Amino acid sequence: MRVKAVISYDGSRFYGFQCLKGRRRTVTYEIYRALQKLGIKSKVIGSGRTDRGVHATGQVIHFDAPSYWSDKERLKSYLNRHLHPDIHFRRLDFVDESFHARYSAKRRVYRYILTKKPYNPFESKYLLFEEFDEDAISHAIKAFEGRHDFRYFMKTGSDVKSTVRTIYKAKTYRYGDRFILYFEADGFLRAQVRMMVEFLLKISSDELTVYHLLEQLATKRRYLTSLAPPQGLYLAKIIY
C-alpha cells in the first residue's frame, strides 16, 4: 500500500534531508525511526533533497505500508507521535503503486524570505536579515523565467544528466514586514535557488548588474559562485 505524505520540518535542526553516512541527525533518518516503531520497513523517497539549514513547508515523500494501516488519519497521528518534534506529517494519502514522490512531480516551488527589520536572534534561523533594494530585486528576478541552461547556477560536483531547467514563475511579494522571493520550476539543480538569490542580492547592493546576470544565464561568463544563507529558504510545494 503506497502512502504519499506532505511533511514540514525545521531545517536548522538537521544535517539536511537525505540520510548521510555517519550523520544520524537528518530528516530521512528520523522518519525511518518513526516508521520502524510502527512496524513499517520501507524505503523513504523524497521529492528532492534540501541542504543543511533549509526548511520545508511542503516536502513530499512516499513509502509503502502494510495494509493493516488502512486508516490514514490514525497512521498520521501515530507517526507524528513518534517523530522528532521538528518534523511534522501534515497530510497522508493512499496512492497508486506507480506514484513516485520524485519522478511524478511536475513542478516545485521554493520561497526565500528576507526582512529589513532589526535583527532578532529568535528568528535568525528562519529568515535573512538584510538591507536590500526591493525594486532592483523585483526587476532582476524576472530574468530567470523561461528555459535556460543553469550549469553556472549550481554547486560544482553535481552529477546530473541535464542542467537545463524551465522556471515558470519568478516573482517577489510582501507579507507584512517580510519580502518573499518565489520560484516555480520543473526542477532545480543543487543549490540553484540559493545561488540565484545571492546574485539578486549582489544586484541589489550594486556589486553586480542585470547584464552580468544575463551573461551568466547564457553561460558566457561566471561572475558568482557563492550562495545565499540557507536559513531563508523553504521548499514550499510540490505540484503533481
Tens digits of residue pLDDT in 49-104: 999 999 999 999 999 999 999 999 999 999 999 999 999 999 999 999 999 999 99
In this prediction, residue 58 carries a pLDDT of 98
Tens digits of residue pLDDT in 109-122: 999 999 999 999 99
Q: Specify the pTM.
A: 0.94
Tens digits of residue pLDDT in 169-215: 999 999 999 999 999 999 999 999 999 999 999 999 999 999 999 99
- Pick the catalytic residue from 10, 51, 86, 186: 51
In this prediction, residue 18 carries a pLDDT of 87
DSSP string of the chain, one letter each residue: -EEEEEEEE-GGGSS-SS-BTTB--SHHHHHHHHHHHTT-----EESS---TT-EEEEEEEEEE--TT---HHHHHHHHHHHS-TTEEEEEEEEE-TT--TTTT--EEEEEEEEE-SPP-TTTTTTSEE----HHHHHHHGGGG-EEEE-TTSS-TT---S--EEEEEEEEEEEETTEEEEEEEES---TTHHHHHHHHHHHHHTTSS-HHHHHHHHTTS---------GGGEEEEEEE-
In this prediction, residue 84 carries a pLDDT of 95
Fold assignment, 2-95: Alpha-Beta Plaits (3.30.70)
Average pLDDT of span 128-156: 96
In this prediction, residue 155 carries a pLDDT of 87
Asked whether the domain spanning 107-239 has the same topology as the one spanning 2-95, the reply is yes
| Annotated catalytic residue 71 | no
In this prediction, residue 163 carries a pLDDT of 96
For the segment(s) 107-239, the CATH number from 3.30.70.660, 3.40.50.970, 3.40.50.300, 3.30.70.260 is 3.30.70.660
13-17, long-range: CB < 8 A, 24+ apart: 13/84, 13/86, 14/52, 14/86, 15/52, 16/49, 16/50, 16/51, 16/52, 16/54, 17/46, 17/48, 17/49, 17/50, 17/56, 17/59
Confidence of residue 156 (pLDDT cuts 50, 70, 90): confident
Tens digits of residue pLDDT in 3-39: 999 999 999 999 999 877 666 789 999 999 999 999 9
Short-list 112, 33, 38, 107, CA closest to 75: 38
Domain ranges for the chain, please list them. Answer: 2-95, 107-239
In this prediction, residue 22 carries a pLDDT of 63
